[in-house]
């Protein structure tokens, strides 16, 4: 599993995760995952959000998909992110390619 950045007791970020990482994420005590990486961003190299959501749900983790294009974090994206995490049980792990978009979204949504 990739190294996590803990922003506070409720939210952490990570670079791109894999299906295999989900068991470690659950074991680490997370209850929800937010994907901020658009499916088409990497040309299909990583599992898309539907695959991640299906496996996360199977494992008892909540999942939200709030895709954000790099460099395009504006009021709409922040509002969508805020709405998505408001309904998720914490702690929450947000991920994107490097974890930076997830961190920025969380910080700007507070």
Cα 50 from Cα 65, distance rounded (Å): 9
60 secondary structure, DSSP code: T
Helix or strand (DSSP H, E) at 41: none
> What domains can be seen in the chain, in order of their start residue?
5-109 (3.90.190.10)
CA 88 distance to own-chain centroid = 12
The pair of structure tokens assigned to 73 is 């974090």
Per-residue pLDDT of the chain (110 residues; tens, 9 = 90+): 778 999 999 999 999 999 999 999 999 999 999 999 999 887 778 889 999 999 999 999 999 999 999 889 999 999 999 999 999 999 999 999 999 999 999 999 98
Query: Closest Cα to residue 68, out of 13, 30, 22, 23?
Result: 13
For the entire predicted model, the pTM comes to: 0.94
């Amino acid at each position: 599993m990739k190294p996590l950045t803990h922003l506070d007791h409720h939210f952490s970020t990570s670079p791109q995760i894999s299906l295999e990482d989900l068991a470690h994420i659950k074991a680490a005590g997370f209850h929800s995952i937010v994907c901020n990486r658009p499916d088409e961003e990497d040309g299909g190299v990583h599992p898309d959000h539907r695959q991640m959501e299906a496996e996360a749900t199977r494992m008892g983790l909540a999942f939200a998909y709030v895709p954000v294009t790099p460099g395009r974090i504006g009021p709409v994206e922040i509002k969508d992110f805020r709405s998505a995490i408001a309904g998720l049980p914490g702690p929450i792990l947000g991920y994107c390619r490097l974890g930076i978009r997830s961190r920025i979204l969380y910080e700007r949504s507070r």
